[in-house]
């Protein structure tokens, strides 16, 4: 079984210790992650610092061309990356699984390559000229999660590099192998040291976010860990982009057509087996449609094949890891104990691996953990309501504020209610459909800053104003 290496300054760096990475579908070993040390991290930051001197002075046109070349390399290795991703993450190859994720990584990379931040002339008159320059920051530290490891790595790396920065990335120890391979592929076209990868346990991430050689941290993951990243960045006043947890509310208005929205509701909640920050995690349905929506979702769920990700017939796979598997089970059990009605699922599947079925829980309300906490798995609470103004207020009571959605046959009316939701992104008659030209980020405890598009690219720059 392959022992992977770190990649620092364009060269593989072996480590003396490794950790096994297992397939969540069956427990089989996929490969061995190198356990980097703080000395390895120092070496990676030093390599990135050296590379920054020349990369930051490379023209915007050449950096754009380099990002296009990265996209073509991802495209060349798409199936290889998808197969490795499925084996370590668990998601199916088909549907909205690994091939979809690699396609998303490719789309974001191509879009970001075409972005630019030209000089802005703020004033040019007889009193003087004022120009605003966007300049790269230095070395960017990246910490990525286990749910969409390749695509989120591209979300972090590509805009940082496009803006003229260099990168040290530390992926989740649960899904490090596809990111290592991605960085190897990227290094086939970028200069040595522009993108480096150091893997290891969570202590390496803490050291990265505290490292004095890191100018900015970008982190995607839980709110709890985001607080730690923010705290460790204080000593050096690092810039931060934090995309943190969500507990997204979806509100079905009484004029919605249940038959037209069932598929969108389902995939809004269960894309990637519910293991998505901006998945629909609390569904509020008006009393007049409640039973029809519940029955429609249960019927749709019954037709979704859950199985090993390498089986081309599988539509959803396992929960990625034991901790998350146990949390989903615990939240569903708690909801059942507090009067929740299990429409489908509700108990672990009788097979090897971390398989938990699609679970719909009706007749729950605020005060039940499945409603109040982010489940991050294949379980959806469905909450009955009768007053729209009251339900919007209740949806906003949660400390998270990543995404939200309103479902209605009247899009303009839905938009009026959507604008009252306290979240960074809001969708009408869909949920979680992010795109590379639309800024994405959270409010409240769901994060700081935005990703994607020109606004996301700006997050990897500092402003210098020139007055003449």
pLDDT at residue 270 in the model: 98
**pTM higher than 0.85 for the full model?**
yes
Separation CA 159–CA 116 (nearest Å): 10
Give per-residue pLDDT as tens, 182-239.
Answer: 999 999 999 999 999 999 998 999 999 999 999 999 999 999 999 999 999 999 999 9
Tens-digit pLDDT string for the chain (468 aa): 899 999 999 999 999 999 999 999 999 999 999 999 999 999 999 999 999 999 999 999 999 999 999 999 999 999 999 999 999 999 999 999 999 999 999 999 999 999 999 999 999 999 999 999 999 999 999 999 999 999 999 999 999 999 999 999 999 999 999 999 999 999 999 999 999 999 999 899 999 999 999 999 999 999 999 999 999 999 999 999 999 999 999 999 999 999 999 999 999 999 999 999 999 999 999 999 999 999 999 999 999 999 999 999 999 999 999 999 999 999 999 999 999 999 999 999 999 999 999 999 999 999 999 999 999 999 999 999 999 999 999 999 999 999 999 999 999 999 999 999 999 999 999 999 999 999 999 999 999 999 999 999 999 999 999 999
**Candidates 101, 154, 184, 277; catalytic one:** 277
Give per-residue pLDDT as tens, 13-53.
Answer: 999 999 999 999 999 999 999 999 999 999 999 999 999 99
As given in the structure block, the two tokens for residue 411 are: 């899009």
pLDDT at residue 1 in the model: 84
Pairing state of beta strands 128-136 and 379-385?
A: unpaired
* 248: nearest Cα among 410, 373, 408: 373
Give per-residue pLDDT as tens, 334-348.
Answer: 999 999 999 999 999
As given in the structure block, the two tokens for residue 363 are: 């007749």
Using CA atoms, how far residue 100 sits from 81, 97, 103, 268, 272, in Å, is 11, 5, 5, 15, 10
CB 3 within 8 A of CB 9: no
Separation CA 35–CA 18 (nearest Å): 5
Place of tokens 């084996």: 87
Is 243 one of the annotated active-site residues of the chain? yes
Phi, psi of 373 (to 5 degrees): -110, 155
Helices (H), 163-217: 177-186, 202-210
Is 67 one of the annotated active-site residues of the chain? no
Separation CA 53–CA 165 (nearest Å): 9
Q: Count other Cβ atoms within 10 Å, centred on residue 129.
A: 12
Q: Count other Cβ atoms within 10 Å, centred on residue 468.
A: 7
pLDDT at residue 25 in the model: 98
Give SS3 for 366.
coil
**Candidates 88, 101, 184, 243; catalytic one:** 243
Q: What is the 3-state secondary structure (H, E, C) of 213-276?
A: CCCEEEEECCHHHHHHHHHHCHHHCCEEEEECCCCEEEEECCCCCHHHHHHHHHHHHHHHHHCC
Separation CA 380–CA 364 (nearest Å): 10
Using CA atoms, how far residue 26 sits from 3, 79, 275, in Å, is 20, 21, 19
Structural domains in the chain? 6-244+443-467 (3.40.605.10), 248-428 (3.40.309.10)
Beta bridge partners of 242: 219, 448
pLDDT at residue 332 in the model: 98
Exposed, middle or buried: residue 337 (CB in 10 Å: 0-12, 13-18, 19+)?
A: exposed
CB 289 within 8 A of CB 256: yes
Helix axes 149-162, 98-113, angle to 10 degrees: 10
Using CA atoms, how far residue 201 sits from 153, 177, 244, in Å, is 17, 14, 20
CB 430 within 8 A of CB 264: yes
CB 198 within 8 A of CB 44: yes
């Amino acid at each position: 079984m392959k022992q992977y290496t770190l990649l620092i300054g364009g060269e593989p760096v072996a480590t003396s210790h490794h950790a096994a990475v297992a397939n969540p579908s069956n427990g089989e070993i996929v490969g061995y992650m190198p356990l980097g040390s703080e000395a390895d991290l120092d070496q990676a930051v030093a390599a990135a610092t050296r590379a920054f001197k020349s990369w930051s002075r490379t023209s915007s046109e050449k950096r754009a061309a380099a990002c296009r070349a990265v996209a073509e390399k991802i495209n060349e290795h798409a199936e290889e990356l998808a197969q490795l991703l499925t084996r370590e993450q668990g998601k199916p190859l088909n549907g909205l699984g690994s091939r979809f994720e690699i396609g998303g990584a490719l789309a974001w990379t191509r879009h970001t390559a075409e972005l630019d931040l030209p000089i802005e002339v703020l004033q040019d008159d007889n009193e003087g000229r004022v120009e605003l320059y966007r300049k790269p920051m230095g070395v960017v530290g990246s910490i990525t999660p286990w749910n969409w490891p390749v695509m989120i790595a591209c979300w972090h790396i590509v805009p940082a590099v496009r803006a003229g920065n260099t990168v040290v990335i530390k992926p989740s120890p649960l899904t490090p192998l596809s990111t290592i391979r991605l960085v190897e592929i990227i290094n086939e076209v970028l200069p040595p040291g522009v993108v480096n990868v150091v893997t290891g346990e969570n202590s390496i991430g803490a050291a990265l976010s505290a490292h004095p050689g890191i100018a900015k941290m970008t982190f995607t993951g839980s709110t709890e860990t985001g607080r730690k990243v923010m705290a460790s960045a204080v000593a050096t006043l690092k810039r931060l982009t934090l995309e943190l947890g969500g507990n997204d509310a979806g509100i079905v208005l009484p004029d919605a057509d249940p038959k037209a929205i069932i598929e969108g509701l389902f995939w809004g909640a269960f894309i990637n087996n519910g293991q998505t920050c901006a998945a629909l995690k609390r569904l509020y349905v008006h009393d007049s449609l409640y039973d029809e929506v519940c029955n429609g979702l249960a019927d749709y769920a019954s037709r979704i094949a859950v199985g090993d990700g390498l089986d081309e017939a599988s539509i959803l796979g396992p929960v990625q890891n034991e901790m998350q598997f146990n949390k989903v089970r615990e939240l569903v059990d708690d909801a059942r104990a507090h009067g929740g009605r299990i429409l489908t699922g509700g108990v672990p599947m009788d097979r090897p691996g971390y398989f938990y079925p699609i679970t719909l829980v009706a007749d729950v309300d605020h005060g039940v953990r499945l409603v109040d906490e982010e489940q991050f798995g294949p379980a959806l609470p469905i909450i009955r309501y009768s007053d729209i103004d009251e339900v919007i207020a209740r949806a906003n009571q949660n400390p998270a504020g990543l995404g939200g959605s309103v479902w209605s046959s009247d899009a303009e009316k839905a938009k009026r209610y959507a604008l009252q939701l306290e979240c960074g992104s809001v969708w009408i008659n869909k949920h979680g459909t992010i795109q590379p030209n639309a800024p994405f980020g959270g409010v409240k405890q769901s994060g700081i800053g935005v990703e994607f598009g020109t606004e996301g690219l700006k997050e990897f720059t500092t402003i210098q104003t020139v007055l003449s």
